Amino acid sequence: MGPGTGPEPVVSMEGIVKVYRDGTVALRGVDFSVLPGEIHGLLGENGAGKTTLMRILYGELRPTSGRVLVGGREASPRGPWEALESGIGMVHQHFTLIPVFTVMENLSMVIPGGSLSRIGDPAVREKAEEIMGELGLPVPLDARVEDLPVGIRQRVEILKALMRDVRVLILDEPTSVLTPLEVRELFSLLGRLRERGVTVIFISHKLREVMGITDRVTVLRRGRVVGTVRTGDVTESDLARMMVGREVEMEIERRPPSPGGVLLSVEGLWVRGEEGGWAVRGVDLEVRSGEVLGVAGVAGNGQRELVEAITGLRRADRGRVLIAGREMTNSPPRELYRAGLAHVPEDRQGVGLIMDFSVAENSVLGIHDGPPFSGRWVMRWDTVRERAAEIVRRFSVVVPGLDAPARHLSGGNQQKLIVGREIMKGGKVIVADQPTHGLDVAATEYIRRLLLEERDRGAAVLLVSTDLDEILQISDRVVVMYEGRIVGGGRPEELTEERLGLLMGGAAG
Amino acid sequence: MRLGLGSPGRYAGPLAEVSLSLAIGLAAGAAVLAGVGADPARGIYAMFSWALSDPSAVLDRATPILLTGLGFAVAARASLFNIGMEGQMYLGGLVALVVSLATREPVLPTLAGVAVGAGYGALAGILKVYRGVNEVVSTIMLNWIAYFLLGYFVTIYYPSPQRPWRSLDVPVTARFPRVSELPTAFLVAVAAALVMLYLLWWTSLGYDIRAVGLQPKAARYGGADPRRVTAISMALSGGVSGLAGVLVVLGRSFYLDSHASVMAGMGFDGIGVALVGRNHPVGIVLSSALFALMAVGGHGMQLEVGVPRELVEAVTGVVIFALAVPEAYRMLASALRFGRGAGGTSEGGG
Ligand SMILES: Nc1ncnc2c1ncn2[C@@H]1O[C@H](COP(=O)(O)OP(=O)(O)OP(=O)(O)O)[C@@H](O)[C@H]1O
Ligand SMILES: [Mg+2]
């Protein structure tokens, strides 16, 4: 379906301006429209306003000015229910399902006139099964959502949106939590939706994905539209340039490593997971000063538990953790930080930040207790604010102000704040778990570069990532985790993606 | 003046919210009055004019509930639901009385009352940390224990020879004086609010308390020890509640009776005071004054408009309810939001 000048847009937004209550101008007059049956990419740096624009389209936010047209008629939705009625559905950056409910129960609440009383209504099940069948979107309808893996939960989110016969489906960074295989499955689903005439708006920071699946792309920068292009007419670096406004280095130069003494060592570590079973089964690792060790693996193979055990957030049942030669097994986080550990946690909103604390308060989380940020008792807020301002400046974090709550930062800027804080600690060992999740190209390259700088400074970096590109780009050595064990590894030069893929899938050898 | 107090702009929202709640509450209260045929305007006017004609009575009434309000708030900031202010207050008052009989001056009795209140609060905290006892359950039981301890000591050890259902009087030299009409006990309570404000927003302990209350997982990552924070904030809560009892006994009643009727219920009032004051020391100072004003003015309404006491309480109850709803809602919502074992993968931002 070649989108040209012919077809009328399904939905268009005109002159959208959004000023948040705290005065942040998120959108400065955006015109945006999508055609029937296209996959339309929406790109932009962190904080460019993508989520804001889509939440306006979905009726969750009211624009300060501007209007939304559906099928040529003005229909600025006053709430998601109105958006749904005019055929616009959205899958959010974070999940919105009720975890203790089953899939069916979750679905029953969204159908027209839906309520808890519709639970068990055979019509709902029929409809769900019809969609699943037509689209090849298998979902266990009677399972409880919290028992489902992330990839399946996402399918449920999509199914939930499709229950309402949407003509336009908005997906806000749907791939950042998915494994490569799940991404492929998602894309073939999107392809089938397109064949049926559904328009998909796809937000992602991964240019390769955008190039691979979209028909057209709109790029936002600082609340304005830079342009809308046909994907076929541009290259990845064109898009990157549009987003950032300058040339972006896609390649990172890496100086040869000069490893020194062992700074982090993990010996025979066994850790239990949430359900009490072994999540980490006897892992040995060593990271030297001046090297990056990449831990690859499909999400859910014990990486999270490994990281939590090293960083003092989960008990290790057996084995030892040493930092700079000192036995630190099961030490509380504060002691680990004093011993020189920095930790960029995977869950930035649940663990890495206190969402209702200000940027300033968050900029010293973990090191607030003690000099230079506090005396024996009293916080030195001036020093804290200096540090916060320094992080904001040095790592170009876009914030409304140092007193704004972290909640008001865009996802990417939240991550930059965390990474900046941890790097500023100047630690000996840096554990970075998915450090570039949800970050735009420029920020991603920047953070990878920073990690390499830390390495060159002499830090030992443990990089845990499900993103193979990331692992291969900046690791000096790679290990692959599968079902709680290290199943192989090597130097990135010696490893092909195929080989890694096989290891990650558990194919031994 | 930032962070805790925030920029002036930060107050615009809360102020608007409080004004709106107050307006709704007063309107509903007026409707209650009108419903029984009383003149609402006269009733409400009587309430305020009566209270304002006797400011020192209002301040006396505000003193203990300001402190129990602080007590509730400091625990609530650590997401603990302390309803043991009542018992902590009783013990504080009892200890202050007993010590004052010996020392005949106010300082040592005050410190002793605060210390015992703190210990009593910490007990509930420690039971929670090491035995997993829910603080709501333990503090309810501790309230009863304190109540009977108080009755026991008052009637067995320190009964007044003339009136055996009440205690000996606090020596005159151990009483908190009044400077012209102004009760110094109230100033002590306000000072406690300032200390609490400082502690929560200008110390690293306060940072930890607020962090644990907002996001326990992130607080742990940030190096706070949730168990220590729980015990300490319960102790702080008990300490200020103990001070409430001290100030009632040394500042206003100068005796205790076997049913603690000079302070009964003022611990529980702290919950409402804290909710209306948004669990913030400055707000609590203001809301305790409002509570006291309505309590004192309620007499005025009773006398001048001739409505029964129950109705006066219904009217003030309606006003308080309207004021407390927003904060109560927020506490409940955040308890639900983070109570659900935030597991899973939460991704992305605003
Ligand atoms: N509730 C809010 N209050 C105030 N400012 C906000 C709020 N939500 C977002 N912002 C600000 O609006 C701007 C746009 O944010 P938005 O979340 O739309 O960005 P985004 O393009 O989705 O970024 P990301 O890729 O990081 O998710 C940012 O500067 C952000 O800080
Ligand atoms: Mg976003």
- State the ipTM, two decimals: 0.86
Q: B344 in a domain, yes or no?
A: no
Report, as an integer, the average pLDDT of B229-248: 97
Alpha-carbon span A141 to A114, nearest angstrom: 17
Q: B22 in a domain, yes or no?
A: yes
Q: Which residue of B has its CA nearest to A308?
A: B221
Q: Which residue of B has its CA nearest to A333?
A: B223
Same domain? For B105 and B67 the reply is yes
Residue located via tokens 């159908």: A111
pLDDT of residue A501: 77
A44 touches chain B (CB under 8 A): no
Same domain? For B325 and B283 the reply is no
Q: How many domains does chain B have?
A: 2
The angle subtended at Cα A159 by Cα A154 and Cα A163, nearest 5°, is 150
Q: B233 in a domain, yes or no?
A: yes
Stretch among A85-99, A114-128, A375-389 having the lowest mean pLDDT: A114-128
Q: B46 in a domain, yes or no?
A: no
pLDDT of residue A118: 62
A160 touches chain B (CB under 8 A): no
pLDDT of residue B306: 81
CB-CB under 8 Å, A355 with B215 = yes
pLDDT of residue B10: 58
A50 touches chain B (CB under 8 A): no
* pLDDT confidence tier of residue A151, bands split at 50, 70 and 90: confident
pLDDT of residue B141: 95
Start-to-end C-alpha separation, chain A: 44
A339 touches chain B (CB under 8 A): no
pLDDT at A95 over 80: no
A22 pocket-lining for ligand 1 (C-beta < 6 Å): yes
Report, as an integer, the average pLDDT of B71-98: 96
Range of the domain at B312: 9-38+307-333
Is-contact B248 B63, C-beta < 8 A? yes
Cα four-point dihedral sign B44, B49, B52, B54: negative
* pLDDT confidence tier of residue B343, bands split at 50, 70 and 90: very low
CB burial of residue A233 (10 Å; 0-12, 13-18, 19+): exposed
Residues within 8 A of B (CB atoms), A 78-117 only: 92-95, 99-100
Bigger pLDDT: B350 vs A422? A422
In the β-sheet with A168-172, what is the strand arrangement from edge to edge? A88-91, A168-172, A199-203, A39-44, A216-221, A224-230
Chain A residue numbers touching B3 (CB-CB < 8 A): 358, 360-361, 381, 403
Same domain? For B132 and B273 the reply is yes
B13 pocket-lining for ligand 1 (C-beta < 6 Å): no
Question: How many A from CA of A139 to the centre of ligand 2?
Answer: 26
Which class would CATH give A11-244?
Answer: alpha beta
Same domain? For B130 and B83 the reply is yes
Question: How many A from CA of A400 to the centre of ligand 2?
Answer: 16
Global pTM value: 0.82
pLDDT of residue A496: 80
Can you read off the two tokens belonging to residue A215? Answer: 């028909």
Amino acid at site A360: A
Same domain? For B140 and B27 the reply is no
pLDDT at A345 over 60: yes
Stretch among A199-203, A211-215, B274-278, B337-341 having the lowest mean pLDDT: B337-341
pLDDT of residue A322: 96
Same domain? For B206 and B320 the reply is no
Can you read off the two tokens belonging to residue B304? Answer: 């001048």
Task: Name the helix (H) or strand (E) containing A429.
Answer: strand A429-433
A297-334 confidence digits (pLDDT tens)? 877 789 999 999 999 999 999 999 999 999 999 999 99
Report, as an integer, the average pLDDT of B301-326: 84
Bigger pLDDT: A444 vs A463? A463
Report, as an integer, the average pLDDT of A421-434: 93
Alpha-carbon span A463 to A293, nearest angstrom: 6
Same domain? For B185 and B250 the reply is yes
The Cα of A378 is separated from the nearest Cα of chain B by a number of Å equal to 4
Which class would CATH give A251-340+427-509?
Answer: alpha beta
* pLDDT confidence tier of residue A459, bands split at 50, 70 and 90: very high
What are the start and end residues of each CATH 3.40.50.300 domain in chain A? 11-244, 251-340+427-509
Hey, whose CA ends up nearest to atom 31 of ligand 1? A409
Question: How many A from CA of A16 to the centre of ligand 1?
Answer: 15
A24 CA: nearest ligand 1 atom: 5
pLDDT at B4 over 70: no
B7 touches chain A (CB under 8 A): yes
pLDDT of residue B350: 33
Q: B347 in a domain, yes or no?
A: no
Hey, whose CA ends up nearest to atom 9 of ligand 1? B350
In this structure, the number of other CB atoms found within 10 A of the CB of residue B214 comes to: 18
Q: B70 in a domain, yes or no?
A: yes
* pLDDT confidence tier of residue B187, bands split at 50, 70 and 90: very high
Chain B residue numbers touching A353 (CB-CB < 8 A): 218
Can you read off the two tokens belonging to residue B286? Answer: 């203001």
- C-alpha dihedral (B242, B245, B251, B252), degrees to nearest 10: 170
* pLDDT confidence tier of residue A205, bands split at 50, 70 and 90: confident
Report, as an integer, the average pLDDT of B42-48: 87
Alpha-carbon span A181 to A299, nearest angstrom: 11
Chain A residue numbers touching B350 (CB-CB < 8 A): 51-52, 407-411
A26 pocket-lining for ligand 1 (C-beta < 6 Å): yes
Question: How many A from CA of A354 to the centre of ligand 2?
Answer: 18
Stretch among A53-57, A70-74, A354-358 having the lowest mean pLDDT: A70-74
Q: Which residue in the set B207, B219, B347 is minimally distant from A379, CB to CB?
A: B207
Q: Which residue of B has its CA nearest to A382?
A: B2
pLDDT of residue B340: 35
A204 pocket-lining for ligand 1 (C-beta < 6 Å): no
B219 touches chain A (CB under 8 A): yes
Chain B residue numbers touching A355 (CB-CB < 8 A): 214-215
* pLDDT confidence tier of residue A366, bands split at 50, 70 and 90: very high
The angle subtended at Cα A198 by Cα A193 and Cα A201, nearest 5°, is 95
Stretch among A7-11, A195-199, B152-156, B175-179 having the lowest mean pLDDT: A7-11
A103-142 confidence digits (pLDDT tens)? 888 888 777 665 556 666 788 888 888 888 887 778 888 8
Q: What is the mean pLDDT of chain A?
A: 88
Alpha-carbon span B328 to B321, nearest angstrom: 10
Residues within 8 A of B (CB atoms), A 260-299 only: 274
Alpha-carbon span B251 to B255, nearest angstrom: 10
Question: How many A from CA of A27 to the centre of ligand 1?
Answer: 10
B350 touches chain A (CB under 8 A): yes
pLDDT at B342 over 60: no
Cα four-point dihedral sign B142, B143, B148, B153: positive
Hey, whose CA ends up nearest to atom 5 of ligand 1? A408
Q: Which residue of A has its CA nearest to B5?
A: A403
C-alpha closest to that of A235 among A252, A251, A212: A212
Q: B68 in a domain, yes or no?
A: yes
Give the CATH number for residue B143: 1.10.3470
Same domain? For B104 and B14 the reply is no
B349 pocket-lining for ligand 1 (C-beta < 6 Å): yes
Pocket test for ligand 1, best of A16, A19, A24 (most atoms within 8 A of CB): A24
B225 touches chain A (CB under 8 A): yes
Sequence-ordered alpha helix ranges (H) in A103-235: 103-108, 122-135, 150-162, 180-195, 207-213
Same domain? For B296 and B192 the reply is yes
Task: Name the helix (H) or strand (E) containing A240.
Answer: helix A236-244
Residue located via tokens 């003005």: A74
Pocket test for ligand 1, best of A17, A52, A91, A403 (most atoms within 8 A of CB): A52
Chain B residue numbers touching A367 (CB-CB < 8 A): 223
Same domain? For B31 and B119 the reply is no
Cβ-Cβ contacts under 8 Å for A55 (sequence gap 6 or more): A61, A90
Same domain? For B238 and B283 the reply is yes
The Cα of A253 is separated from the nearest Cα of chain B by a number of Å equal to 29
C-alpha closest to that of A489 among A479, A499, A498: A479
The Cα of B199 is separated from the nearest Cα of chain A by a number of Å equal to 8
Q: B346 in a domain, yes or no?
A: no
Question: How many A from CA of A411 to the centre of ligand 2?
Answer: 6
Q: What share of chain B is helix, strand, coil (3-state, %, to 5)?
A: 75, 5, 20
Same domain? For B205 and B325 the reply is no
Is-contact A48 A413, C-beta < 8 A? no
SS (H, E, C) A362-418: HCCCCCCCCCCCECCCEECHHHHHHHHHHHHHHCCCCCCCCCCEHHHCCHHHHHHHH
A19 pocket-lining for ligand 1 (C-beta < 6 Å): no
